[in-house]
A and B are shown apart, each in its own frame.
Chain A
Amino acid sequence: MSLRTPLGKVRGLGSAKEGTQHFWVQRVSAVALIPLTLWLVAELVCLTGAGRDEVLDFLSSPLQAILMLLLVIAGFYHLKLGIQVILEDYVHGEGAKLVTSLLNTFVCFAGGAVSVFAVLKIAFGG
Chain B
Amino acid sequence: MATSILHRASGVALGAGALWLAWWLIAAASGDEAFECVQGFSTSPIGMILLFGVTLALMFHLLNGIRHLVWDLGHGFEVKTATTSGWTVIILAVVLALVAWGIGLSMMGAF
CB pair B12 A30 closer than 8 Å: no
Given A27-B72, A86-B8: A41 and B14 interface contact (C-beta under 8 Å): no
Cβ-Cβ contact count across A and B, 8 Å cutoff: 85
Rounded to whole angstroms, the CA-CA distance of A75 and B25 in the bound complex is 14
- Contact residues, A5-60 vs B (CB, 8 A): 27, 30-31, 33-34, 37-38, 41, 44-46, 48-49, 52, 55-56, 59
Q: Which residues of A contact B66 (CB under 8 A)?
A: 34
Main SS class of interface, A: helix
Main SS class of interface, B: helix
Q: Does A118 contact B (CB under 8 A)?
A: yes
Residue ID in chain B nearest A31 by CB atoms = B69
Q: Which residues of A contact B18 (CB under 8 A)?
A: 72, 75-76, 79, 111
How big is the B interface, by class? Answer: 20 to 34
Q: Which residues of B contact A114 (CB under 8 A)?
A: 22, 25-26
CB pair B65 A30 closer than 8 Å: yes
Rounded to whole angstroms, the CA-CA distance of A112 and B18 in the bound complex is 9
Cβ-closest 3 pairs across A and B: A48-B104, A118-B25, A118-B29
